Structures are given as structure tokens and as C-alpha cells.
Amino acid sequence: MLAQMAVLLLLLPLSNMLLFSVVIPVFNREQSLENALQSVIKQSFQNFEVLIVDDGSEPVIANKIKQLIVNFQDQRLKLLRHKINKNGAAARNTGIGAASGQYVCFLDSDDIWLPNKLELVFNCINTQNPSDYFLIHHQYRNSKNGVLAEALPKISKGSYESVAHYSFVTNDVGGIQSSTICVPIELAKRCLFDERFSGHQDWDFALQVGAFTRHFYFISEPLTIRNKDSDYGVADGLSWQYSLWFYTQRASYFDNDSALHYFKRVVLRKAVFGLGILAVIKNKLLMRILLTKPYATSKVLVSFIELVFQQQRRVRQVDLACKRRNVKSLMIWGANDYAKSLILGVNENLKVLRVIDSKALNSQVKIHGIDVTPLTSISKEELSEADALVLATDNHQESMKKDLSDICPTLLSKIIEY
């Protein structure tokens, strides 16, 4: 097989048959984009083009992205640009529309591929001898603060298993991730990404593909590394209300088991931090699973209500600490669901000045209207203005305190642990 591949690699350029089109949507990122592009350029299989779709980045960063691509000096890299920011779905569709390859692969601008990704995908196409319509995906590993998590998903989709059941029951880790997907160009053009969706776009794409074909091929090797250093990526920023609305748009793709697991893992996991219960339990999804799976649904609801009360107690403790210290303004360190619940739950007379995220971009990121900025971009004077700093984390208080002691030690006495 390797010998045949070596011969084919020599012949493909002569035949002018472009095999892979790699579509990379990007918005206001250049450093992580460079890492993503490097991972494509270093592929052991070299028959590809790369379509970078700048989804309306602000002018300064757009120019950096343009220069970055020029610096690669590789004619296979092609830059497309939206004049305004649309969303990742629209950017991927623009890439699909411009693709010249037989197959389309997707790569998020903050992810990277291992060097043999395209080679193994190519091998899979050859060995499976697939039909006109198919989807190939593989394992990925999340990386946070340099630590790699376990490879997911664990197993392949059953031949007659629905995509929804595979995503939310068999794997219970969410849908098939975009940076692992490869499909024939004609299938991509037929499905496209639904531009109404600001999130769960890759989940939706896989659901749509599943309506056209049951041929899903799985490579049991982690070939994508997902960068999860930031606590406020696109997926993390989605509300439970959005995820519930997404279900209403795609309810017909879900069987009763997948609907229950989606409600538990996707909707309720985020709704815990919404500090409310009634709104969560008044919807068609819950009515469906209560009727079809009453015992399992009741257990899920009891666990959810217990978590809501626990979360409410934590917010009240912060609120009481602020009252005891006569706090009028505070900053929150941790751009996460804890921060969201604090902003919504603390006394309305308290002013939340900023949310701190060490990995945040210094532009356009907000949580409930509050700016999210890295600690290093906040002056000592601004830090000193806060009456309190809430450490919204379970595990990183000590490292946060150490960083703070190097930058503004006077603020150590103002810390409130969440």
C-alpha cells in the first residue's frame, strides 16, 4: 500500500487531479491560524489546496492574516474574505463553493492536524471503496494548557445507527467534530452548512449528511488536536436556550434516546448556570422525553434541580461576601459558565467591571455585555479600581493568586473565592 501511494503521489500532480480541498474559516485570529496552516503544509500527503476564508476580521487582523499567507509562499494557499462577519457556517460554505478538489476537509483555525491525517484519510478512501456519498471522520484530542485529553470518540457509528444516536448516546460527547470531517465535494455542495446556526454547525452538517447516506467511516486514531486553552470559545459561549432552539430545528433527526441524552448533556449542562428552573422545564423536548422515557427523565430532572440549588448557593455566598466587605465594583477571573451565573445572580447594585481570561483576544469578546480581556492587558490602575476580584474556578485559585502577585499584589487582599 505504501509503495502504491508513493507512485500515486508522483502521478497525481502530472494528471492535474486535485484530491483534497482544505477549508479553514477564520475570524480575528492570526497566531493560531499560522499553527493550523503549518500543520497542513507538513502533511505527508501533499495533494491539496487550502482555502482560508476570513469571515470579516477587523482590518488590522485581516491585514496580518493576508501577510501571513503571503509569507508562506505557497500557491496552494488561497485567501477568500467576507466584507462583514457572518459566521463559521457561511465561511465554510464559501470555501465549499470555491473548492476544486474531489474531497473537502475542514479545519478550524485554532485546531491542528497530525502530519499523517490526509494520508490516512486517503488510505481510507482507497480501502473502503466507498459509494458516491460518504463521510470519513476520526478521533481527536482536546488540548488545554498543554495537557492532552483522551482520544474521542471511542468507537465508530453502527451501520444502521442514526447520527444523532451515535453522537449523543453511543459517544455521549456531542456530535462529529468539524476538524475531523472529510466528504466528497458533491455531497458537501448538496448538504452545505446551515447559516442560521451560530453554533452546533458541525453537528448539524453530520446530521444532514446522515440523511443522504449511512456510509460513515471511522479512523480510530487521534489526527486532530483541538485547542481548548480559552474557556470562551464559540461552543462554550452558546446558551442553553440556543441549544434548545437548535433541537427544535432538527427534532426529526432525533430518536427518543438521543433526545433524552441531548437534553441532559447539552441543554441541562448549561442551564444549571442560568439560575432558573421553570424556563428549562417548559418546552417540547422535555414533554417528548417525559412521555417516552418518564423514569429516566425524572432522574435527570432531580439531579438537575439539585445542581441548580448548589449553584445558587455559591452565587449567594459571593453576594454575601461582597455585602460584608461593602464591595461596589468587582472583576471576575474566569470566562466561563460560573462567570455568567455570577453576572446574572449578584446584587444589581454591584458593578462588574471586567471578566478576565488569560487566553482572550483583546477585542469583541463579551459575556452578558461585559468585556472579556486578558489579565496582562489591564493596567495596575484599572485593577486597583476593583473593590473585589472573584476567582470563578474550582481548580486554579493558587495559580491565579501567583500570577496576580506578580502583577498587582495589592489585589490579593481583595480576592473572593467562588
Q: What is the pLDDT of residues 158-179, one digit of tens each?
A: 989 999 999 999 988 878 999 9
- Domain shared by 305 and 321, yes or no: no
291 assigned to some structural domain: yes
- Domain shared by 48 and 178, yes or no: yes
- Domain shared by 135 and 253, yes or no: no
The residue out of 202, 227, 252 marking a domain boundary is 227
- Domain shared by 294 and 342, yes or no: no
- Domain shared by 114 and 253, yes or no: no
Containing structural domain, residue 326: 313-417
Q: By mean pLDDT, which of 207-211, 241-245, 345-349 is the weakest?
A: 345-349
Task: Label residue 359 by pLDDT band (50, 70, 90).
Answer: low
Q: Please give the radius of gyration of the chain, using alpha carbons only, rounded to the nearest integer.
A: 23
- Domain shared by 338 and 280, yes or no: no
What is the number of other CB atoms lying within 10 angstroms of the CB of residue 27? Answer: 24
Residue 364's pLDDT is: 59
C-alpha cell at 339: 462567570
Q: What is the pLDDT of residues 401-412, one digit of tens each?
A: 888 888 888 888
102 assigned to some structural domain: yes
Q: Domain containing 388 — which CATH number?
A: 3.40.50.720
Cα 207 to Cα 65, 153, 284, 328: the distances in Å are: 32, 16, 20, 48
**Residue 391 contacts residue 397 (beta carbons within 8 Å):** yes
Q: What angle do CA 371, 36, 233 make, to 5 degrees?
A: 25
- Domain shared by 159 and 268, yes or no: no
The residue out of 283, 312, 341 marking a domain boundary is 312
Q: What is the pLDDT of residues 287-344, one digit of tens each?
A: 999 999 999 999 999 999 999 899 989 999 999 999 999 999 999 999 888 898 898 8
233 assigned to some structural domain: no
Looking at residues 58-67, what average pLDDT do you find? 96
Percent of the chain beyond pLDDT 90?
67
- Domain shared by 126 and 175, yes or no: yes
- Domain shared by 341 and 306, yes or no: no
- Domain shared by 271 and 338, yes or no: no
232 assigned to some structural domain: no
275 assigned to some structural domain: yes
The alpha helices in 325-379, defined as continuous H runs, are 337-345
Domain count, the chain: 3
- Domain shared by 223 and 106, yes or no: yes
* Prediction pTM value: 0.85
- Domain shared by 152 and 253, yes or no: no
21 assigned to some structural domain: yes
284 assigned to some structural domain: yes
The residue out of 289, 312, 335 marking a domain boundary is 312
234 assigned to some structural domain: no
